[in-house]
Structure 1
């Protein structure tokens, strides 16, 4: 099993390789948040700053996964229609700094609409609700310190399964 240091080094090298690609070789990604004030969750309870940080974080995650999981020449538009973050806000624990309580029945979910294009032509589209019902058993997400670690794992799983055939093309299989 690789050490944390070697995993971090590998991740840094992979990110560097993606950043060195010319812009045309990277997957073009558009992320929009449709009526975020109506989302079931998304740090709405703690104000617009927390919600902005959550949405910016999700946008970075989606862009990064698209760049990593889609081969060159593909573009994807993702519209987030609804969001329910992992855990639930517990106002009684807010004073101790622990705002979200994670339990088995508070899994993350996200409804999104996507359109995948190649050379300007739509090759796939759909609307899906993603759920990570076993989010507390994901060893990578549980060990991570990222604020959106469970949502990132859920989105990574979706990209991996939804676009598996494309990823095989990217790796030359």
Structure 2
């Protein structure tokens, strides 16, 4: 294969297409949060249950100026797992927390007008704060509902507050926002 054929094959593989090559067939799929095989809930385990609506309807994807990059990866599942892990640590014994995520808008945005070289760059600016909307129900050890409702959390000052996560964590702003909600909703005993 010459260089041109190799580059074309690579581009097709990166977009999820099947490529016939001289040595056989190459196939690769990029995982997306909107894929037909993408989960819509975390596996049932422990006292915290997290589900989510179709991410194709999330603000992050609907209003993105780079829908391909916005769909890429498993960021919805990662945020759901983070929410579960943090809530489990603070939930009193015997209680349950049921969460259904209805919308996510990640920190930052794509700005294609900056040029082709920045097509897949997420610009983290204060005008693009992280937001999340979800319904939740907190159930006591006796089965009574302790709290429920819809919450829209956002972090308007996300660039000005301390963030405990590494800069390499692409979800650090969303995780810090979730942590703040959990610390308010599930305060430690005696605080």
Q: CA 1:132–1:48 in 2, change beyond 3 Å: closer, same or farther?
A: closer
* Unpaired runs of at least 5, structure 2: 1-44
**1:27 and 1:74 in contact (8 A); partners too:** no
**1:27 and 1:71 in contact (8 A); partners too:** no
Aligned partner of 1:32 in structure 2 is: 51
Residue 88 of structure 2 is aligned to residue 70 of structure 1: no
Aligned partner of 2:20 in structure 1 is: none
> Which deviations, in whole Å up to 9, do the C-alpha atoms of 1:112-147 show, x marking residues without a partner?
110001223211111011010000012225754211
Count how many residue pairs are aligned between Structure 1 and Structure 2.
142
Aligned partner of 1:102 in structure 2 is: 124
- 1:41-120 maps to which residues of 2 (within 5 A)? 41=60, 45-46=67-68, 50=72, 53-91=74-112, 92=114, 95=117, 99-119=121-141, 120=143
Residue 169 of structure 2 is aligned to residue 146 of structure 1: yes
- 1:119-134 maps to which residues of 2 (within 5 A)? 119=141, 120-134=143-157
* Unpaired runs of at least 5, structure 1: 1-25
Whole-Å separation in 2 of the counterparts to 1:77 and 1:131: 20
Q: Which is higher, the Rg of structure 1 or of structure 2?
A: 2
Q: Aligned Cα RMSD in Å?
A: 2.6
SS in 1 for 2:100: strand
Q: CA 1:98–1:162 in 2, change beyond 3 Å: closer, same or farther?
A: same
Aligned partner of 2:179 in structure 1 is: 156
Whole-Å separation in 2 of the counterparts to 1:110 and 1:161: 15
* Alpha-carbon distance, 1:68 to partner: 1.7
- 1:14-25 maps to which residues of 2 (within 5 A)? none
**2:47 and 2:97 in contact (8 A); partners too:** yes
Normalized per residue, the structure richer in helix is 1
